[in-house]
Chains A and B, each alone.
Chain A
Amino acid sequence: MKKIFLMTALGLTFAFAGNVAPVNNALYQKECASCHFGYQPALLSKTSWEKVMGNLSDHFGTDASLGKAEHDQILAYLVSNAGSGKIAANNNSMRITESPKFIKEHREVPARLITQKEVGSLSNCSACHILADQGNYSERAIKIPNYGRWE
């Protein structure tokens, strides 16, 4: 019993310590992660994902349009796995980088480490979060190019 309690507590800690469920949808991975990092659905709210999927032909300035079948399947996946945790809270914009929690977590990162060519922008999660693909954004799993560990 104690064990279960401990595990639950540990699980909760992880949920708030930068862990989200990894992407588990092959179509989403194929269609979205061919151009950019495969952001986990929990990083944005349902409203945000609906906005993103509502205008894919002008997706942050590029044409990312899909066929209707692919569009509907991906929308369903994103909406049913959308974020309800701190990272998605108070952000109904299309940008993960506009989440108050996201901004707070990245406020101390010097601009030069973000603009350097190995990173490019804050939307390139996996450049520094070495386990980002697994949904692990914990501080222990950060290694910034030309800087090193962030602890």
Chain B
Amino acid sequence: MKKIVYLIVLSLSLLNAKAFNAPMQIYMNELSAEAKAQNPNFTGFDATRGEKLFVSKHTGKKGSEMSCTSCHTNNLKNSGQNVNTNKPITALAPSANPTRLTDVAEVQKWLRRNFNDVFVREGTALEKGDVLTYIINQ
């Protein structure tokens, strides 16, 4: 009986693997409204655009070439490494690391920091929404 319950919970969580939790969905809706306000033609976030952004190379805050992949690697199911300190970074893909994209404050903090480090500016609502859509689908 216990096994069946576990199986149901497991399959439910697998079904929901690509969905944001409630607080994150509220945040995504806010980003969506902001993107729409900035561009009336906005129709929704796009994982492909998010991926392009994620792998794009820029002269980062330190003056050297940077990309999100510099620390997170090209495969988000794998762990990465902080390019400045060599400290390991746990996998970004929610399928490999279920704690990812669950805490809105953490997500906002890292988007702020990492956009500044790689793009030397804040991300727009469209960029943030696209990148988060890309990550949650990994």
Contact = CB atoms under 8 A, between A and B. Distances in A.
Contact of B86 (A34, A57, A120): A120
**Chain A interface size range:** 20 to 34
B87 A63 contact: no
Contacts of B117: 62-63
Contact of B109 (A67, A119, A120): A67
B82 A57 contact: no
A66 B109 CA distance: 7
Interface string B94-130: 0000000000010001001110110000000000000
A123 B82 CA distance: 13
Contacts of B62: 61-62
B87 A61 contact: no
B58 to A, nearest CB: 14
Interface in B65-88: 82, 84-87
A61 B85 contact: no
Contacts of A65: 109, 112-113
A35 B85 contact: yes
A117 B81 CA distance: 12
B36 interface: no
A95 to B, nearest CB: 14
Interface in A59-83: 60-67
A35 B87 CA distance: 6
Contacts of B113: 62-65
B57 interface: no
A124 interface: yes
Interface string B28-61: 0000000000000000000000000000000001
Nearest to B84: A62
Interface of A: 34-37, 57-58, 60-67, 117, 119-120, 123-124, 127
Given A36-B85, A124-B85, A127-B86, 18 more contacts: A34-B87, A35-B82, A37-B87, A61-B62, A61-B84, A62-B62, A62-B84, A63-B113, A63-B114, A63-B116, A63-B117, A65-B109, A65-B113, A66-B109, A117-B86, A120-B86, A123-B85, A124-B86
